[in-house]
Amino acid sequence: MISVQPVARPGAPLARRNPVAKLAAALVFSFVLIATLDPVAPAIAIAVELAVLPLFGVRYGVLARRAWPLLASAGGILVSLVLFAADRSGPVLVEAGPVVVTQGVLVTALGLVLRMLAVALPGIVVFATTDATDLADALIQNAKAPARFAIGALAAFRLVPLLEQEWRMISMARRARGVDAGRNPVVRLRLFVSTAFALLVGAIRRGTRLAVAMDARGFDAGTPRTVARRQRFTRADGLLVAGAAALAGAALTVSVVLGTFRPLIG
Amino acid sequence: MSAVVLRGFGWRHAGRRQWAVRGVDLRIEAGERVLLLGPSGAGKSTLLAALAGLLPEDSGEQEGTVEIDGLDPRKARERVGIVFQDPETQLVMARSGDDVAFGLENRGVPAEEIWPRVDEALRRVGFPYHRDRPTAALSGGEQQRLALAGALALRPGLLLLDEPTANLDPAGAALIRRAVADALDADTTLILVEHRVTEALPLVDRVVVLEPGGGVRVDGPPEAVFAAHGDALAAAGVWVPGRGLPPRHATAPPGEALLTADRLGLPPRLAHTDLQVRAGEAVAVLGPNGAGKSTLALLLGGLLRPGTGAVIAADALAGRDARTPPHRWRAPALARRIGSVFQDPEHQFVTGTVREELALGPRRTGQDETAVRATVDRLLDRLGLARLAGANPYTLSGGEARRLSVATALATAPRLLICDEPTFGQDRRTWRELVDLFAELRDAGHGLVAVTHDPDFVAALADRTLTLERADRVRTPDSEERP
């Protein structure tokens, strides 16, 4: 089950910031980190991210629950890179039969995994502290996103949990008709494809009905829309973005000063 | 306060040979309250869509004219509000108040006027919560009231209601009718499409009946229309008040037990329920939305694993398999013994034609081709689907799709048939065919379980009822003879 509800205390000082500002800060922070392959800059970034977490009103336990698939895959990547990466340079750290772990391979693998975590965490924090409606409002009002796109996506998003339910209903309806796959993998795949097709047909029909209902309330009227919920982009929001940029820059600077900086390109 | 004039109006959807609606001449004055009737396929929904300006010019072919206050409906959209059948696909926003505000934003209503108008609309439909209430947490009836508030907030001169209570239980439907009665301004024109005529009559002062072939069949005050044309309308499939159908109760006592639910439950959707279904009896399962009726149907149908208790098949139903619970049977074995008819027929369609759809089950259960053909032909004929044998199941009308979904469940000749809302949204003719068919099956020794909100269906067919309460309230499943 995909959870999309915000989990933060809404009163936390940074959780209250404009959603577009939070998104921009996360993007700036992540983008800078993509530029380097070393483990130091992302490690600093993760430390910074964890340090500001209370300001977003997210408890560490909640974050861990939300990010566990990410942590699990990070662990998996680390192990497989350490064991199987082609680059075997540097002094040997562990040698057990066919398993050879060198310093070079460990540094590269750690760098990659830390980078992945550092890039993903800001996104998780943004969505954990932002209501989807507020995000759509702010995208329209502060980032000049087209309302047709932002509100349309928001409405479609609301129908996503229905798909899961629909999938179960279609599968059960097929079993009732005498259709099941048993253990045959080919039949199983065919059944999966045909169930997916039925789901798609249903989703398109439902989407069309929703679109008609939205147009019936003037969504396609062409009159300039007004906004019921005002989203403001204040100086504090600007400072949040600037702060994110400065911290990301600082992480890179430390990495350059320590001599571990390895640019992605060149 | 809007007036509607149709002159020889017709509409044919692009790519269709048949006209959806044709030859309609109608004049509706400002402030009139009209109930629009007609059997399945008479074009009621298409006509409402045309009035709401929701048929783009390039989506089909138009005949004649339609005007709202002298304007093309596509240019008079801000004068018209419409509420559809399915609450799930007309709510846009996550919070109730935001959803009502959505239309006001689209129309460019100044920001400072929006929230007072939202609150007023919510109050008029008797919405019981604060405007921050998540729309996902509302019951079907509450969601429909919210959709009504969304339409009323725009202060339409003409309000169109397209079967707004069809998806609701009787209590939810009554809430909507009360909200409509209370919330309408005296000068708002109303056009209502509704199968349940008796319940809708207090809301209207005029009845218009469309003829499936085209044109208006009858038009006038309800009493006059039903007094003069009641029998003919009933025969054509219209639900005419006061014209009940002959009951079809079992003539013989029920036979052996087929399936037993023993303290069956699936928390939190269904609390402990006991039920025994016997051969030759029809059991109706009643209760409000959210009581777990559909869950019970799925459990009895061997489609869900029970959370508590058990579903026990009798030897008479399952032979040697009786020791395994139905949810562990292979699908073909299940289809031979227990047939399930889902609430939404489209969930059950697997193939590209009506004929293939009927042949699927018999083939899966190992009948030879001659037997399959005989079964298919018999069912096509019995359920009046013969002329549609080559049609794609997804293109059928609501009534046809329902008949097909029942026929597919019967194709494997199961001893036990479990139906979820089999008569939902059907015109009187299809309804009657279904009741006759179920009665025949029952009298031939089949067991029948029907989850239903339809009191007429219960009165006509059920030999026994089981009423479920909402799982979050105190529940005492009762089981009485003959409702």
**Chain B residues with beta carbon closer than 8 angstroms to that of A219:** 102, 106
Task: Flag whether pLDDT at A266 surpasses 80.
Answer: no
**Chain B residues with beta carbon closer than 8 angstroms to that of A214:** 92, 102
Q: How many domains does chain B have?
A: 2
Tell whether B228 is within 8 A of chain A (Cβ).
no
Laid out side by side, the sheet with B257-266 consists of B270-278, B257-266, B308-313
Please tell me the predicted confidence (pLDDT) of residue B308.
Answer: 92
Q: Which of B93, B106, B347 sits opposite A221 (nearest CB)?
A: B106
Query: Which of B54, B57, B82, B92 to mutate to probe the A interface, most A CBs <10 Å?
Result: B92
Tell whether B82 is within 8 A of chain A (Cβ).
yes
> What tens digit of pLDDT does each residue of A20-52 get?
999 999 998 888 788 777 888 888 999 998 998
Per-residue pLDDT band at A5 (split at 50, 70, 90):
low
Per-residue pLDDT band at B287 (split at 50, 70, 90):
confident
CA–CA distance, B102 with B158 (Å, rounded to integer):
19
Check if the beta carbon of residue A67 is closer than 8 Å to that of residue A121.
yes
Task: Flag whether pLDDT at A1 surpasses 60.
Answer: no
Domain limit, last residue, from B235, B265, B290: B235
Task: Flag whether pLDDT at B473 surpasses 70.
Answer: no
CA–CA distance, B379 with B373 (Å, rounded to integer):
10
Question: Which stretch of DSSP H or E encloses residue B50?
Answer: helix B44-51
**Chain A residues with beta carbon closer than 8 angstroms to that of B149:** none
B393 occurs within a structural domain? no
What mean pLDDT is predicted for residues A87-112? Answer: 78
Please tell me the predicted confidence (pLDDT) of residue B481.
Answer: 37
Beta carbons within 8 Å of B369's beta carbon, 6+ residues apart: none
Question: Which stretch of DSSP H or E encloses residue B158?
Answer: strand B158-162
Per-residue pLDDT band at B463 (split at 50, 70, 90):
very high
> What tens digit of pLDDT does each residue of B160-179 get?
999 898 878 888 888 899 99
Q: What angle do CA B154, B183, B172 make, to 5 degrees?
A: 110
The better pLDDT of the pair B383, B149 is held by B149
Check if the beta carbon of residue A130 is closer than 8 Å to that of residue A178.
no
The better pLDDT of the pair A90, A164 is held by A164
> What tens digit of pLDDT does each residue of B335-345 get?
999 999 998 88
Please give the interface size between A and B, counted as residue pairs whose CB atoms are below 8 Å apart: 163
DSSP string, A142-174: HS---HHHHHHHHHHHHTHHHHHHHHHHHHHHH
- Quote ipTM for the complex: 0.84
Tell whether B120 is within 8 A of chain A (Cβ).
no
- Same structural domain for residues B102 and B189? yes
The better pLDDT of the pair B80, B249 is held by B80
CB atoms near residue B183 (< 10 Å): 19
Task: Flag whether pLDDT at A13 surpasses 70.
Answer: yes
Please tell me the predicted confidence (pLDDT) of residue A2.
Answer: 40
DSSP string, B196-222: -HHHHGGG-SEEEEE-TTSSEEEEE-H
Matching residue, tokens 């340090």: A51
**Chain A residues with beta carbon closer than 8 angstroms to that of B102:** 151, 214, 217, 219
Task: Flag whether pLDDT at A95 surpasses 80.
Answer: no
Tell whether B482 is within 8 A of chain A (Cβ).
no
| Residues 19-38 (A) with a CB less than 8 A from some CB of B | none
Per-residue pLDDT band at B346 (split at 50, 70, 90):
confident
B469 occurs within a structural domain? yes
Strand B21-28 relative to strand B4-13, pairing? antiparallel
Per-residue pLDDT band at B471 (split at 50, 70, 90):
low
* Contact between chains at B89 and A213 (C-beta distance less than 8 A): yes
Q: Which of these ranges, A74-83, B415-424, B444-453, has the smallest mean pLDDT?
A: A74-83
**Chain B residues with beta carbon closer than 8 angstroms to that of A173:** 340, 342, 347-348
Is the pTM of the predicted complex or chain greater than 0.90?
no
Looking at chain A, the whole-number percentage of residues with pLDDT higher than 70 is: 95
Of residues B202, B236, B208, the one with CA closest to residue B221: B208
**Chain B residues with beta carbon closer than 8 angstroms to that of A221:** 77-78, 106-108
What rounded mean pLDDT belongs to chain B? 89
The angle that helices A147-158 and A132-142 make with each other, rounded to 10 degrees, is 170
B158 occurs within a structural domain? yes
Check if the beta carbon of residue B33 is closer than 8 Å to that of residue B203.
yes
**Closest Cα in chain B to A195:** B350
> What tens digit of pLDDT does each residue of A120-135 get?
889 888 888 888 899 9
Which letter, b or e, does each residue of B446-462 get, where b requires 16 or more Cβ atoms within 10 Å of its Cβ? bbbbbbbbbebbbebbb
> What tens digit of pLDDT does each residue of A240-259 get?
999 999 999 998 899 889 88
* Contact between chains at A176 and B348 (C-beta distance less than 8 A): yes
Structure token pair of residue B123: 């109050």
Per-residue pLDDT band at B472 (split at 50, 70, 90):
low
* Contact between chains at A176 and B342 (C-beta distance less than 8 A): yes
Tell whether B74 is within 8 A of chain A (Cβ).
no
Please compute, for residue B39, the number of CA atoms within 13 A of its CA located in the half-sphere on the CB side.
Answer: 18
- Same structural domain for residues B165 and B52? yes
The CATH number assigned to the domain holding B342 equals 3.40.50.300
Q: What residue ranges do the domains of chain A occupy? A: 19-131+230-258, 147-216
Q: Which of A159, A172, A198 sits opposite B298 (nearest CB)?
A: A172
Query: Which of B48, B89, B102, B143 to mutate to probe the A interface, most A CBs <10 Å?
Result: B89
B407 occurs within a structural domain? no
Q: Which of B78, B107, B335 sits opposite A177 (nearest CB)?
A: B335
- Same structural domain for residues B155 and B262? no
Please tell me the predicted confidence (pLDDT) of residue B474.
Answer: 40
Q: Kindly state the DSSP code that residue B321 receives in the 8-state scheme.
A: G
Q: Which domain holds residue B88?
A: 4-235
B449 occurs within a structural domain? yes
**Closest Cα in chain A to B98:** A228
Q: Kindly state the DSSP code that residue B71 receives in the 8-state scheme.
A: B
Check if the beta carbon of residue A28 is closer than 8 Å to that of residue A252.
no
Nearest-CA distance from A157 to chain B in Å? 10
Per-residue pLDDT band at A168 (split at 50, 70, 90):
very high
CA–CA distance, A102 with A95 (Å, rounded to integer):
9
Task: Flag whether pLDDT at B290 surpasses 80.
Answer: no
**Chain A residues with beta carbon closer than 8 angstroms to that of B298:** 172
Of residues A87, A79, A102, the one with CA closest to residue A37: A87
Please tell me the predicted confidence (pLDDT) of residue A6.
Answer: 65
Task: Flag whether pLDDT at B312 surpasses 60.
Answer: yes
Laid out side by side, the sheet with B447-451 consists of B338-341, B416-420, B447-451, B282-286, B464-467, B478-481
Please tell me the predicted confidence (pLDDT) of residue B476.
Answer: 41
Nearest-CA distance from A53 to chain B in Å? 26
Per-residue pLDDT band at A3 (split at 50, 70, 90):
very low
What rounded mean pLDDT belongs to chain A? 86
Rounded-to-10 torsion of CA B43, B47, B50, B54: -60
B401 occurs within a structural domain? no
* Contact between chains at B92 and A155 (C-beta distance less than 8 A): yes
Nearest-CA distance from B76 to chain A in Å? 11
* Contact between chains at B330 and A180 (C-beta distance less than 8 A): yes
* Contact between chains at A158 and B94 (C-beta distance less than 8 A): yes
Per-residue pLDDT band at A70 (split at 50, 70, 90):
confident
The better pLDDT of the pair A92, B113 is held by B113
The angle that helices A19-34 and A103-129 make with each other, rounded to 10 degrees, is 170
* Contact between chains at A212 and B54 (C-beta distance less than 8 A): yes
**Closest Cα in chain B to A181:** B331
Tell whether A213 is within 8 A of chain B (Cβ).
yes
Distance spanning both ends of chain B, measured CA to CA: 45
Q: What angle do CA B426, B51, B237 make, to 5 degrees?
A: 20
Please report, as a single letter, which amino acid is at residue A225: R
- Same structural domain for residues B101 and B227? yes
The better pLDDT of the pair B8, A37 is held by B8
Per-residue pLDDT band at B18 (split at 50, 70, 90):
confident
Per-residue pLDDT band at B82 (split at 50, 70, 90):
very high
Structure token pair of residue A210: 């929703």
SS3 state at A100? strand
Query: Which of B79, B105, B417 to mutate to probe the A interface, most A CBs <10 Å?
Result: B105
- Same structural domain for residues B195 and B316? no
